[in-house]
């Protein structure tokens, strides 16, 4: 009987735990099923340009703790809207037929797509066009529909928490207001979890537009009570009531061109002007995505990788492995594509934080 062939790719921004999933998929497929496994380089870029390599047991041995992805990734290559730059002009081409052709020529029986909402939305279209795909949810933002948690998030929160702990020292010693800006795009999960873990006095998230007066009031209240410093954790996507997000740059050749960033500096200037208190801003940036995954993320990534292969064996294509109440279940990619899982106002953690006096700027 012909050996089954499966491939794996990582798409979108990197995060801790990607290699742990690649390792789990490859080991499980080889050890339990005798499959041949291939790695596609640089996400959908490799699918378009025919770049795949065989993965044997030794290729994935020793990568559990390694940050990034051994396969490389890209957040620009959408086969349905592939960007071709001509001088300053940006044009798009549909290269999906080449992808489907390549996939067939390689004789693959299935593809594991590890990625965030962008990657999984493309995965859904490719599945509809005939490619047997299983998705694995990945992002530090924790904002994918159909799953309670994504790997990479716990590591990011850990890094943010350590950062806040370190900022505390300077805030306290210099009697300053310190602002920590964290990633998360349209969702405030990293700010909420990191902010609570780091004991932030004020947490600003996209889901709760803030009023600057409320922030200033809280900082002054603390000063009056003898607390001569305050720590603010702000999500990059936070915005004032009736206002807009701060855009750092537009990446013209990216499928999702808007990059957020810089809210902490805008906020810092306003707070300093309105309170007369010295204020400093720190942007955590890509530090949140790199390095070794936490134990939690290593375990989650391993469970997801193993489960993705199980789903392939059962023929559950067109689905993503979702984590719901700690159980791994197949979630139709259709329910995941194009959406964002944001924090709701009834979120228990928000209520918990409010109970210990955390201000959300509302």
Size of the site for ligand F6P (CB under 6 A): 13
Judge contact between 99 and 133, C-beta under 8 A: no
> Using CA atoms in the order 231, 233, 238, 242, what is the torsion angle rounded to 10 degrees?
-20
75 near ligand F6P, judged by CB under 6 A = yes
Q: Which residue is nearest to ligand F6P (CB)?
A: 183
Judge contact between 188 and 200, C-beta under 8 A: no
147 near ligand F6P, judged by CB under 6 A = no
13 near ligand F6P, judged by CB under 6 A = yes
Side-chain half-sphere exposure of 74, counting CA atoms within 13 A: 20
Could you give the 3-state DSSP secondary structure of residue 340?
Answer: coil
* Beta strands at 247-250 and 258-260: parallel, antiparallel or unpaired: antiparallel
184 near ligand F6P, judged by CB under 6 A = yes
Task: State the minimum distance, in angstroms, from the CB of residue 140 to ligand F6P.
Answer: 6
Q: Find the catalytic residue in 14, 42, 78, 141.
A: 141
Measured from the CB atom, the residue of 262 and 332 that comes closer to ligand F6P is 262
141 near ligand F6P, judged by CB under 6 A = yes
One character per residue 100-119, x = contact with ligand F6P (rule: CB under 6 A): ----------------x---
Active site residue 269: no
Measured from the CB atom, the residue of 183 and 300 that comes closer to ligand F6P is 183
- Helical H runs in 238-294? 263-275
Task: State the minimum distance, in angstroms, from the CB of residue 75 to ligand F6P.
Answer: 6
Q: Cα(188)–Cα(326) distance, rounded to whole angstroms?
A: 21
Judge contact between 176 and 229, C-beta under 8 A: yes
Measured from the CB atom, the residue of 51 and 248 that comes closer to ligand F6P is 248
Chain centre to alpha carbon of residue 68: 13
The residues binding ligand F6P (CB under 6 A) are 13, 75, 116, 139-141, 183-185, 236, 259-260, 289
Give catalytic residues, as residue numbers: 141
């Amino acid at each position: 009987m012909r050996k089954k062939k499966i491939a794996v790719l990582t798409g979108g921004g990197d995060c801790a735990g990607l290699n742990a999933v690649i390792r789990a998929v490859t080991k499980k497929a080889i050890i339990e099923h005798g499959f041949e496994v291939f790695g596609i380089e640089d996400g959908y870029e490799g699918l378009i340009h025919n770049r795949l390599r065989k993965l044997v047991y030794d290729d994935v041995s020793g990568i559990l703790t390694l940050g990034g992805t051994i396969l490389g990734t890209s957040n620009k290559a959408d086969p349905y809207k592939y960007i071709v730059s001509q001088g300053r002009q940006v044009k798009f081409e549909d290269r999906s037929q080449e992808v489907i052709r390549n996939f067939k020529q390689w004789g693959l029986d299935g593809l594991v797509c590890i990625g965030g909402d962008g990657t999984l939305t493309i995965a859904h279209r490719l599945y509809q066009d005939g490619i047997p795909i299983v998705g694995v949810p990945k992002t530090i933002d924790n904002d994918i529909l159909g799953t309670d948690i994504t790997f990479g998030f716990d590591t990011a929160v850990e890094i943010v928490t350590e950062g806040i702990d370190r900022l505390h020292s300077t805030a306290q010693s210099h009697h300053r207001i310190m602002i920590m800006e964290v990633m998360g795009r349209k969702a405030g999960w990293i700010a909420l979890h990191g902010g609570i873990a780091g004991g932030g006095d004020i947490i600003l998230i996209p889901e709760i537009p803030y009023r600057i007066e409320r922030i200033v009031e809280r900082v002054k209240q603390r000063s009056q009570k003898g607390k001569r410093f305050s720590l603010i954790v702000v999500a990059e996507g936070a915005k004032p009531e009736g206002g807009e997000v701060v855009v750092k740059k537009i990446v013209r050749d990216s499928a999702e061109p808007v990059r957020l960033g810089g809210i902490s500096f805008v906020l810092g200037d306003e707070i300093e002007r309105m309170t007369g208190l010295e204020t400093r801003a720190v942007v955590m940036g890509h530090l949140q995505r790199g390095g070794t995954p936490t134990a939690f993320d290593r375990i989650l990534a391993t469970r997801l990788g193993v489960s993705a292969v199980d789903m392939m064996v059962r023929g559950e294509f067109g689905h993503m492995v979702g984590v719901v109440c700690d159980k791994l279940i197949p979630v139709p990619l259709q329910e995941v594509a194009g959406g964002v899982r944001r924090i709701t106002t009834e979120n228990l953690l928000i209520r918990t934080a409010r109970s210990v006096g955390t201000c959300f700027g509302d």
